Structure 1
């Protein structure tokens, strides 16, 4: 049977995992993809350019022309309204069932299944539920008892229980890169994940919700073996001859033993520059050295704020500033380049917290970028509950959150007040220029409050231009890849148009 997956913005590894499972059992898969240039929820947001490059009509056309037996959407809060807009149009022209899966249907299932254009939703892990659904459709009779799935039937909603979590990730088929290979330049940048779950449950992350939601269904954190991961990378390197690898776990591993074994073998068996995401508690001197020796060119380190009280009580993170700077100093000693993730717009955040962070980070030697993320309240997360209890948000805001109608975390997130947005963008610019600006000049700007003048300029345009400049000066290959992918996509569309 043929299944078409619908996605926007960027390559989605979870869809590649679902596609691999279906293909293993003889089913066909296709992709209807909108790169969503200038509104990709990943990098750049420029509304008027997004309208010019809009591809919704083409996505709908591809879905219908594929004549699928099932239409699947990968749904998160930021793309929920986009998914609904596509599904509503498609529903008018086909009887193929539409299934929504992902973190948004899992966290607010009642709201999603209530939509007329949605026939089925998948809660939690989808590899086996989707396979069982497709097998039953192929046989001509939908099985309405599949665990993890909710169905509409005769005006009622069938809510099936949640199954036990997949225990051994090595048993899953290798992710299907063919699904995205025509729409993203995989040979330039290879994405993968090595785990499900996380060792942490930070209040602002989807893992915070999932850890509680999946309780009692098995181990929360499960990891591929080092052998399994390296085997995947060897096969894919042979196929795509990729230039760089990016492991997209929130944290490379919950095990230092796993980490060191992987790094020791990676250099010899793969030998391609790679990038990881990390937490201050998982990178000590030994790991920093092993990362550098293995060819890691970039660590994306989650810090979020240097206000320890906010970090502990609001973000539910227990590391200290000492832990953070111990890790940063370890990477500096090894000459290991890194970026820092920082959140703005936090409840209780003060200007003094942000200025302290600016003065602290400007001293760092191998800092490539400070990635500023605007606080975005998401459904069923601890930080959303905390904000509601403190009266920071109200019930109407909760509805907006659950309907995916707020700005995403790379735009202005959940910060609605215009004056606060302008002020925070001033600080965002300061963080952007830190990696290429002498400490003395940063201190001069702060001393004389010169950054305030930025609020009277076209802030978004300046932020984009500064980001481009910093990316090339600091050789931030991830940011450069994101820019190059825009050029690649525009070129691809041009060639298709005149083919």
Structure 2
């Protein structure tokens, strides 16, 4: 059983009101271990080094109440001895794990190492805890599961621990007790983002973050998303809270700018902003007010996400005037049936094309997000995505494989169809096994997606007429041909990608400014300083 109050010997603090204050250690497994599909052979580790807005917000709220918070930011899998030594050094009263699905197995190992060392209460939150809580609560070393936003549940949990009171009924938590698991409903939320404390940017060592190597700051202003794409958990998050929480919340333009100014104080070397919001707020005059303040007080080039069917010429003009150099769009699939019926992304092909054309006309670079290997896809569906990417002339076309994540509608569809088992090792690069698309076809598409996009762009650049039509028909036949040696060509592409990956990694590690210079020239990014000169 867990310790109900602080562990003996833990360095409790005293708050302004004379009450005891606890020491909280946030553990952030920021890496991905990859195992090969099917064989579960070790493939490698993708090291992290990324800022987390959620952890910065948690820390700020806890520190405002006088608690001491530290971060164990793991950018690679730790050795047991290394991890236990850090726990001994910190001597926390409470440990909070933030876990994504891919890092969940590693978090389980670390929770077991912790309990073997000291009887410290452990709570786990994050995506996996929110949407697959039964997975998490089944781990005996985890005392509580935090579902949804963690600020209020964690504050109440700590309050109970301070008073050595039971916390089995804290809203937002599933709690392990001697009588079994208590599954509480949703906890409270911070309804007015303007009343939240500034994110605790100082929790992170910005000098060691991946984005900092290219002098970029990751920023997330909003919470939530009003859309219900089947591969995303946003719909189920809204269902979890019901009508008690607005579908999307964002601070006022004035508070948003204050946050950015605070960020520049912590990270004065920042030269670029990467807005990670699903969609920058655009309604009710928010974007216009924010744009005016951004230009006058921040004035840094930035990139952002946007939804193609929401983009208007006025929004494009505003983004350009603010200094936006790149917009990311979720295309996902070029097949109308897959995009609409399977993914629940109701936007037309014409809207997607128009959004990219509007950005190109304004001189804003574009990135297209796509997924390969979606449920019910075949070669023809993937070819539709290739051809749409050629038509929109995206500056960058990203084409990762679709990985089925539990806690989403699309995962349940894949399980029901027998494309994926309900339970598997989340570290595995799991692809769907479906009759319409073999793994050989899938791997070939992943490796040669960009090659065929370039080939079709050349064909589309020709004047309309018989020669252009013959060129397109030839490419169609080539891609769809059953005689194409896909397995051998995929092997060649593997060698190519290893070389390119090594080159990019070496530049980032040894000459990040050279990498940044080359990236800016390729994307056409100009800083305000360069424009003034």
| Fold similarity call, TM over 0.5 | yes
Distance 1:478 1:247, change over 3 A: farther
Deviation at 1:254, TM superposition (A): 5.7
Deviation at 1:76, TM superposition (A): 1.8
SS at match of 2:96: strand
- Partner Cα separation in structure 1 for residue 419 and residue 189 of structure 2: 35
Residue number in structure 2 paired with 1:281: 309
Farther off after superposition, 315-324 or 444-453:
444-453
Structure 1 contact 34–59 (Cα < 8 Å) conserved: no
Residue number in structure 1 paired with 2:444: 426
Could you tell me which of 426, 444, 450 is aligned with 1:404? 426
Residue number in structure 1 paired with 2:299: 271
Residue number in structure 2 paired with 1:23: 63
CA deviations over 1:257-307 (Å, ceiling 9, x no partner):
323332333122211111211111222211112112211122111110011
Structure 1, unaligned runs of 5 or more: 37-52, 485-499
Distance 1:54 1:441, change over 3 A: farther
- Partner Cα separation in structure 2 for residue 331 and residue 77 of structure 1: 34
Distance 1:186 1:343, change over 3 A: closer
Could you tell me which of 227, 233, 247 is aligned with 1:206? 233
- Partner Cα separation in structure 1 for residue 172 and residue 513 of structure 2: 35
Distance 1:342 1:472, change over 3 A: farther
Could you tell me which of 9, 13, 23 is aligned with 2:53? 13
Residue number in structure 1 paired with 2:248: 221
* TM-score, length-scaled by structure 1: 0.82
Deviation at 1:350, TM superposition (A): 2.1
Structure 2, unaligned runs of 5 or more: 1-21, 31-49, 461-471, 520-533
CA deviations over 1:209-248 (Å, ceiling 9, x no partner):
2122221322121111111111110121133121111111
- Partner Cα separation in structure 2 for residue 441 and residue 298 of structure 1: 26
Structure 1 contact 369–435 (Cα < 8 Å) conserved: no
| In the alignment, structure 1 residue 230 sits paired with structure 2 residue 257 | yes
Structure 2 contact 216–272 (Cα < 8 Å) conserved: yes
Residue number in structure 2 paired with 1:384: 411
Deviation at 1:8, TM superposition (A): 2.2
SS at match of 1:78: coil
Structure 2 contact 153–188 (Cα < 8 Å) conserved: no
| In the alignment, structure 1 residue 305 sits paired with structure 2 residue 333 | yes
Residue number in structure 2 paired with 1:159: 183
Structure 1 contact 199–254 (Cα < 8 Å) conserved: no
Farther off after superposition, 306-315 or 187-196:
187-196
Structure 1 contact 199–221 (Cα < 8 Å) conserved: yes
SS at match of 1:216: helix
Deviation at 1:379, TM superposition (A): 2.0
Could you tell me which of 132, 138, 150 is aligned with 1:126? 150
Distance 1:306 1:256, change over 3 A: farther
Q: 1:52-63, aligned counterparts within 5 Å?
A: 57-63=81-87
Q: 1:251-400, aligned counterparts within 5 Å?
A: 251-253=279-281, 255=283, 257-365=285-393, 367-393=394-420, 397-400=421-424
Deviation at 1:17, TM superposition (A): 0.9
Structure 2 contact 447–490 (Cα < 8 Å) conserved: no
Could you tell me which of 152, 169, 174 is aligned with 1:145? 169
Distance 1:434 1:61, change over 3 A: farther
- Partner Cα separation in structure 2 for residue 192 and residue 276 of structure 1: 10
- Partner Cα separation in structure 2 for residue 275 and residue 172 of structure 1: 25
- Partner Cα separation in structure 2 for residue 141 and residue 293 of structure 1: 55
| In the alignment, structure 1 residue 116 sits paired with structure 2 residue 140 | yes
Q: How many residue pairs were aligned?
A: 453
Deviation at 1:115, TM superposition (A): 0.8
Deviation at 1:391, TM superposition (A): 4.0
- Partner Cα separation in structure 2 for residue 115 and residue 128 of structure 1: 24
Distance 1:385 1:368, change over 3 A: same
Deviation at 1:67, TM superposition (A): 0.6
* TM-score, length-scaled by structure 2: 0.77
Q: 1:62-81, aligned counterparts within 5 Å?
A: 62-81=86-105
- Partner Cα separation in structure 2 for residue 480 and residue 278 of structure 1: 26
Residue number in structure 1 paired with 2:23: 2
Residue number in structure 2 paired with 1:457: 491
Distance 1:256 1:470, change over 3 A: farther
Farther off after superposition, 380-389 or 61-70:
380-389
Distance 1:220 1:118, change over 3 A: same
| In the alignment, structure 1 residue 172 sits paired with structure 2 residue 211 | no
Distance 1:446 1:310, change over 3 A: closer
Deviation at 1:353, TM superposition (A): 2.2
Distance 1:448 1:285, change over 3 A: same
Farther off after superposition, 21-30 or 106-115:
106-115
| In the alignment, structure 1 residue 98 sits paired with structure 2 residue 122 | yes
RMSD, aligned α-carbons: 3.2
Deviation at 1:158, TM superposition (A): 2.2
Residue number in structure 1 paired with 2:278: 250
SS at match of 2:396: strand
- Partner Cα separation in structure 2 for residue 281 and residue 244 of structure 1: 26
SS at match of 2:148: coil
Structure 1 contact 303–341 (Cα < 8 Å) conserved: yes
Farther off after superposition, 141-150 or 324-333:
141-150
